């Protein structure tokens, strides 16, 4: 396999984060521990309630929303 074929070696590999949460195969599963931790931090900073029962896809959407509110968005 050449470096060009190896996605990890590309200068700007495609990001999974850019994929629409509605099209995630595992989007209905419970959010990950990393999502929960970050979402809890963002919720506290935004003065918003934290919902520990969100799916992966819903948590991703909520993270994006709270990033915009807190100025942490990219």
Let me know if residue 59 belongs to a domain: yes
Let me know if residue 73 belongs to a domain: yes
pLDDT of residue 26 exceeding 90, the answer is: no
Let me know if residue 19 belongs to a domain: no
Determine if the pTM surpasses 0.75. Answer: no
> Where in the sequence is the domain holding 58, given as residue range(s)?
29-74
Let me know if residue 46 belongs to a domain: yes
Domain count of the fold of the chain:
1
pLDDT band at 35 (very low <50, low <70, confident <90, very high): very high
Sign of torsion, CA 26 29 33 35?
positive
CB 53 within 8 A of CB 23: no
Q: Cβ of 25: how many Cβ atoms within 10 Å?
A: 6
Residues 6+ apart with CB under 8 A from 22: 57
Let me know if residue 63 belongs to a domain: yes
Q: What gap in Å lies between CA 21 and CA 23, rounded to an integer?
A: 5
Q: In the predicted model, what is the mean pLDDT of residues 41-66?
A: 95
């Amino acid at each position: 396999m050449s470096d060009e074929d190896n996605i990890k070696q590309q200068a700007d590999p495609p990001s999974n984060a850019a994929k629409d949460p509605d099209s995630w195969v595992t989007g209905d599963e419970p959010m990950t521990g990393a999502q929960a931790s970050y979402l809890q931090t963002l919720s506290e900073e935004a003065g918003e309630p934290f919902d520990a029962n969100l799916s992966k896809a819903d948590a991703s959407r909520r993270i994006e929303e709270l990033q915009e509110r807190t100025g942490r968005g990219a």
